[in-house]
Amino acid sequence: MQLMQAGNKLKKVAILQSNYVPWKGYFDMIAAVDEFIIYDDVQFTKNDWRNRNKIKANGQVQWLTIPVRHSISDRIRDVKVSLDNWNIKHWKTLQANYGRALAFRDASDFLEELYRAPRSAYLSEINVEFIRAINSFLGIDTRVTWSSDYEYGGERSERVLALCKAAGANSYLSGPAAKSYLDLSLFEQEEITVEWMDYSGYPEYPQMSGSFDHAVSILDLIFNTGSSAGSFMKFVK
């Protein structure tokens, strides 16, 4: 594969596990690529971003957590919700803490429907339902697929490389945490370029109270800025 050959279009992909209502950087990564692959057939990790995220509550950070049942060997795609009314509790918490936010009414038009009637008992499917809806709100049209849509194998770096090849990618956008383990020589051998997502330099936006915190769910940005959310992001127009 030759990068930027005549007749070949550069295809950039990112590969991340599904997160529950992720922070803005996650959506910027989606907006920065041609295909965003949900890495759903790897092992579920407890007390991670898969089933929880942060919001602002009375000036402090509070966790929103989806209760799940799982065993140590479960893949993310196999993990199911363990409490039927988690969604109602979360929506009431969001209403209580963001009901007076400037753009709450605009955002609630699509978010309340998601929270009132989740369409799956599987965690990753719930996460992706929220991700797709938020993409639509932000105007992100990147193709979102599942790693289980592809046939690939290997371990760690080899596995990510095989998934890139299966997706027809010649450019891979990775989160900076992977710098400690990703074997770049494998990608060089296959002529797949590796780029690193830069999460620095985000501007602050009007949060309701307390000291400003970037590391909260994108719901905080949406409730506070509405249709202007993209102006506080890097790759969303």
What per-residue confidence (pLDDT) applies to 8?
64
Global pTM reads 0.93
Looking at beta carbons, which pairs linking 131-134 to residues 24 or more positions away fall under 8 Å? 131/18, 131/22, 131/27, 131/30, 134/21, 134/27, 134/218, 134/222
Cα separation, 98 vs 203, in Å, equals 21
Domain residue limits, the chain? 12-232
CA atoms within 13 A on the CB side of 84: 0
CB 1 within 8 A of CB 170: yes
CB 12 within 8 A of CB 34: yes
Q: Which residues contact 208 (CB under 8 A, 6 or more apart)?
A: 56, 59, 97, 98, 100, 101, 224
Cα separation, 224 vs 207, in Å, equals 6
Cα separation, 25 vs 22, in Å, equals 8
What per-residue confidence (pLDDT) applies to 138?
97
pLDDT in tens, the chain (237 residues): 333 333 468 999 999 999 999 999 999 999 999 999 999 999 998 889 999 999 999 889 999 999 999 887 899 999 999 998 999 999 999 999 999 999 999 899 899 999 998 789 999 999 999 999 999 999 999 999 999 999 998 888 999 999 999 999 999 999 999 999 999 999 999 999 999 999 999 999 999 888 999 999 999 999 999 999 999 999 997
Pick from 211, 223, 218: which is nearest to 233 by CA? 218
What per-residue confidence (pLDDT) applies to 115?
95
Cα separation, 77 vs 169, in Å, equals 23
DSSP lists the bridge partners of residue 62 as 55
Radius of gyration for the chain, computed over Cα atoms and rounded to the nearest angstrom: 18
What per-residue confidence (pLDDT) applies to 24?
98
What per-residue confidence (pLDDT) applies to 218?
98
DSSP 8-state code for residue 232: G
DSSP 8-state code for residue 25: H
User: CA dist 34 to 12, 31, 168, 176, Å?
Assistant: 5, 8, 11, 19
CA atoms within 13 A on the CB side of 22: 23
Cα separation, 28 vs 25, in Å, equals 5
DSSP lists the bridge partners of residue 72 as none
